[in-house]
Structure 1
Amino acid sequence: MDFCALDFETATHERNSACELGICVVQNSSVVETKTWLIKPPSFPYFHQRNIDVHGIYPDDVKDAPTFEDIWYEVEEMMYGTLMIAHNASFDAGVLKGCFNHFGIFAPKINYLCSIQLAKKSWNYLPRYGLKHLAEYHNIQFKHHRAGDDAEACAKISLLAFEKLFLTSNEEIADFMKGKIKSI
Structure 2
Amino acid sequence: MDFIALDFETATHEKNSACELGICIVENGQIKETRSWLIKPPSFPYFNHHNIAVHGITSEDVQHSPTFADVWYEIENLMYGNLMIAHNAAFDANVLRGCLEHYGFFKPNINYLCSIGVAKKAWKDLKSYGLKNLAEQHQIKFNHHRADADAEVCAKISLLSFERLMITRNEEIKDVFSKRIKIL
Secondary structure of the 2:85 match is strand
> In 1, Cα distance between the equivalents of 2:167 and 2:31?
17
Residue in 2 aligned with 1:127? 127
Q: CA deviation at 1:38?
A: 0.2
Which amino acid is 1:29 matched to?
A: G
The alignment status of 1:79 with 2:56, answered yes or no, reads: no
User: After superposition, what is the alpha-carbon deviation per residue over 1:107-135, rounded to whole angstroms, capped at 9, x for unaligned?
Assistant: 11000000000000000111100000000
Q: Which runs of 5+ in 2 are unaligned?
A: none
Which amino acid is 2:172 matched to?
A: E
Give structure 1 regions of 4+ aligned residues with deviation exceeding 2 angstroms: none
Q: Which runs of 5+ in 1 are unaligned?
A: none
Q: Which region of structure 1 is more displaced relative to structure 2, 5-14 or 72-81?
A: 72-81
> In 2, Cα distance between the equivalents of 1:100 and 1:94?
10
> In 2, Cα distance between the equivalents of 1:27 and 1:148?
17
Residue in 2 aligned with 1:30? 30
Which amino acid is 2:23 matched to?
A: I
The alignment of Structure 1 onto Structure 2 pairs a total of residues equal to: 184
Residue in 2 aligned with 1:7? 7
> In 1, Cα distance between the equivalents of 2:139 and 2:69?
36
> In 2, Cα distance between the equivalents of 1:81 and 1:127?
34
Secondary structure of the 2:21 match is strand
Which amino acid is 2:107 matched to?
A: A
Q: CA deviation at 1:75?
A: 0.5
Q: TM-score, normalised by structure 2?
A: 0.99
Residue in 1 aligned with 2:100? 100
Residue in 1 aligned with 2:183? 183
The alignment status of 1:40 with 2:22, answered yes or no, reads: no
> In 1, Cα distance between the equivalents of 2:12 and 2:51?
6
The alignment status of 1:52 with 2:52, answered yes or no, reads: yes
Which amino acid is 1:47 matched to?
A: F
Q: CA deviation at 1:141?
A: 1.1
User: After superposition, what is the alpha-carbon deviation per residue over 1:14-53, rounded to whole angstroms, capped at 9, x for unaligned?
Assistant: 0000000000000000000000000000000000000000
Q: CA deviation at 1:178?
A: 1.6
Q: TM-score, normalised by structure 1?
A: 0.99
> In 1, Cα distance between the equivalents of 2:33 and 2:153?
13
User: After superposition, what is the alpha-carbon deviation per residue over 1:149-184, rounded to whole angstroms, capped at 9, x for unaligned?
Assistant: 000000000000000000010000000002100001
> In 2, Cα distance between the equivalents of 1:24 and 1:38?
15
> In 2, Cα distance between the equivalents of 1:99 and 1:128?
30
> In 1, Cα distance between the equivalents of 2:81 and 2:55?
30
Secondary structure of the 2:35 match is strand
> In 2, Cα distance between the equivalents of 1:78 and 1:137?
30
